[in-house]
Amino acid sequence: MTSYRAVIGLAGHVDHGKTLLIKALTGITTARAHEQAIGMTQDLGFAHFDDGQGNTIGVIDVPGHERYVRNMVAGLWSLDLVLLVIAADEGWMPMTGDHLRLLKAMGVPRLLVCINKCDLVSPDELELLEETLLERVMDESGMVPDIVCVSARNGDNIDGLHAAIVGQLADVQESQAAREQGAPRRSREEAPPRLYVDRVFTASGTGTVLTGTLQQGSLKVGDKLRLYPADREVQIRSLQAYHQSVDEIGAVCRVAVGLKKVPHKEVARGHCLGSAAGDCQATTHLIVRLEADGQSSKELRTSLRNKEVEVALGSWHGRAQLIYIRGADTEDADHPGLARLVFASPLPCFFGQPLAIIRHGSSELLHGARILWCGDISPARRKALHALLRALPEDLAGHNPATLQLGLNGYVPADRFDAPPAEAVQQGDWMMSQSWLAQTREAMLAALQAEPLSGAELAGRLRIDPEAIQPLLLALKAEQRIRLHHDKWQPGGGESEDDLGEEALLVLKLVRDQGKEGYQPGKLGPGGVEIDPVRHLTLPAGLRQKGALQKQLRNLARLTYLIQLEGPIYYDAELYHHMVRAVLAGQRVGDLIDMGSLKEITGLSRKYAIPFCLRMEMDGWVRREDNDRRVLRLPEGNPLADETPA
């Protein structure tokens, strides 16, 4: 068999011999001194053993007493196999059933029933117990487990238990390999690291140390990771696996991680260590799919209304408000299907992650569930989201949660997909559904037809991410359907300001900032190009070179962004045309306009009014007659433009 790493756990009723069984299997006593004194495991215990082929198998001992079920569920996260330990002389007990239901709810993939204390009953009683347990486990979990009978006290059949564990783990590895070969997904070690914290302590010379099961990915000394729910960066100072210092370790493995400069009080059980490339989210709201074999009934929903429940997720355990979601397709059904969980503070979680919903103050499992949505959603969009969630496949293992965002918003970052999903196209750095893209393009054009808008204004009006709308604007511009003018997008083709270089945009801004005074290069001072006298704006080095500023001004005038008057004085083209329309408003072809009226209308002094009139003459709007100007033509849209002159 190839090399592998695995972690198993032992669960079952209190005093059925789990801790003694671990010692017989591994030679390690997991119980602490105070636990040995009272004869009861209260918190998680840890051990390991060799499978005989050089592979180390981690072992987690979980408490069996109902009082410590919160600690018990923290040890069930990411186990490859669980031994359900049942004492031969007592058989099935209430906590046996509770543990089994919690195992399934937390997503444990494999179960091995271990009948301990088999030396205390006769062979006939043992055979009958095996049949009874097999039937009961199948009825309550749907699993068909192997059963191994041992006596931890005198060592009977411990080798057989060892062989059964190794055989089960071999099947797990083969199944995992088959899945990885059959689908374009990364192996567990290649995936982003994921480790839920189950213990935190301070070690002399190391500082804060956290322990947990590395469920996927690999860790290396010096790695910079993210610690959730704080979403803060941390760096690995040291690594230990099964009491051996290592520089690097891969999943699945029990590991102790020393962190640099992280206070002990900032890490707790239930926190998660991952990477920025992972899909961990810290949230106070979840939408989950309730498993079909959990409790249901309208009576249950009514009894839990406005009451708190307890939730076990990863190694985290705490309270939440449970809100059943009733849709048209499930309103009259016994099983509610979807539910919302609301927490007092953020917790780290993942799409598709299993969790257990437990009645507050007891060990009774209310529901097993799977996370379908992390985060809150506005009431107006809940109906659409719930429809998408109900349409998800039963098996979430190969489903990309980014398809939910694509279906809900119409777009999602393209790097969330290895290949474009059906009915989607890539636009820049975004993947967009074709139907949404077509509707949004038309909505953008309609909005811009009503009034020019900046990219940010358009994104806000259509409720689209400003970064996502950018490739759509560029695509419409390439089709000559819109252009950017005065930082506003408007219908029509032609020159677009976003095609200008940085220096050209700066010069354009300088001219526009001068308003009706116009922009005169000579006003910049000796040498021409260093400081703008109005804005006191230092120009970049490229514009300080001799002639560089004048070259940009002439080029912008050629592109019709600027209008050059005599002087030379440069005006913003839109301002110039606005003043021309103001001067000609109410005029007919052939009318005379005196200079006084022109100065009053434009607000220009004589110094600027004369160059302005000369430019109007050059453009064919008027002709000079003594001190007046005769109107030669009118702008399009002028109500008098089509009238015959008197």
pLDDT tens profile 417-430? 988 888 899 999 99
Determine the pLDDT at residue 428. 92
How do the residues of the chain divide into helix, strand and coil, expressed in percent and rounded to 5?
A: 35, 30, 35
Determine the pLDDT at residue 526. 40
Neighbours of 136 (CB within 10 A): 17
Distance CA 209, CA 460 (A): 46
Determine the pLDDT at residue 642. 52
Q: What is the layout of strands, in order, in the sheet containing 146-149?
A: 45-50, 56-61, 6-12, 81-87, 111-116, 146-149
Determine the pLDDT at residue 525. 44
Determine the pLDDT at residue 336. 52
Determine the pLDDT at residue 14. 78
Nearest Cα to Cα of residue 14 among 62, 90, 65, 61: 65
Residue spans of the chain under pLDDT 70: 1-2, 31-43, 64-72, 75, 172-187, 292-303, 305-306, 327-336, 522-546, 637-646
Distance CA 177, CA 252 (A): 14
Determine the pLDDT at residue 638. 64
Distance CA 202, CA 209 (A): 6
Determine the pLDDT at residue 61. 83
Determine the pLDDT at residue 143. 82
Nearest Cα to Cα of residue 499 among 442, 572, 446, 508: 508
Q: Which pair of structure tokens corresponds to residue 157?
A: 């059949």
The DSSP output letter for 531 is B
> What is the residue type of 314?
G
Determine the pLDDT at residue 184. 43
Provide Rg for the chain, Cα atoms.
37
